[in-house]
Amino acid sequence: MDTCPECGAAGEVPCEELFGRLLALDHSRQAPWGPLHGVAVACYRLQHPASLTEGSHTFLLELLRAYVGGGAEAATRLTEHARRANSHRVLRRDRTDDTPDPRAPTGFAFTVAEVAADGTFPAEGHPERVRSWSEATLAAWRG
């Protein structure tokens, strides 16, 4: 059994592989996985901070707050708004700092390993596990 150095998950299957399995289900766009794609990506990235650059955590935390406070519909509205803003027609400042965010916590009470349950991300209970994942991620980032 291995322990993830970023999120603290212990398991036979590495987090990256579990996340790949979840993404395959998410991209099917079928419930219960598809509607929670943005939330799952936010949780994973916030729990694996090597993927974060300074300041990139802000939107991800906002997305999780929207989800926990208003459900999947609130998260979807926020991601749709962000998707529309992520256009070649919208003038944005270029990012130049690729330094990992130093405020990222390590060790989480609920990780992708728990969401995976038996490694297959079973449909039954998936939304509840994603909610627990979101709440644990937010709690850790609050400090």
pLDDT in the model for residue 88: 47
String of DSSP letters for 26-62: HTTT-TTTGGGHHHHHHHHHHHSGGG--TTTHHHHHH
More confident: 103 or 122:
122
**Which band of pLDDT confidence, cut at 50, 70 and 90, is reported for residue 91?**
very low
Alpha-carbon torsion (104, 101, 53, 80), positive or negative = positive
Contact 38, 27 (CB under 8 A): no
pLDDT in the model for residue 13: 96
| pLDDT tens profile 99-118 | 445 578 888 999 999 999 99
Count other Cβ atoms within 10 Å, centred on residue 28.
11
Percentage of the chain modeled with pLDDT above 90: 69
Contact 108, 12 (CB under 8 A): no
Contact 78, 62 (CB under 8 A): yes
For residue 49, with 0-12 CB atoms within 10 Å meaning exposed, 13-18 middle and 19 or more buried, which class applies? buried
CA–CA gap between residue 33 and residue 86 (Å, rounded): 23
Q: Please give the structure tokens belonging to residue 37.
A: 């794609």
| pLDDT tens profile 36-69 | 999 999 999 999 999 888 888 999 999 999 999 9
pLDDT in the model for residue 97: 46
Which amino acid would we find at residue 135? E
**Which band of pLDDT confidence, cut at 50, 70 and 90, is reported for residue 82?**
confident
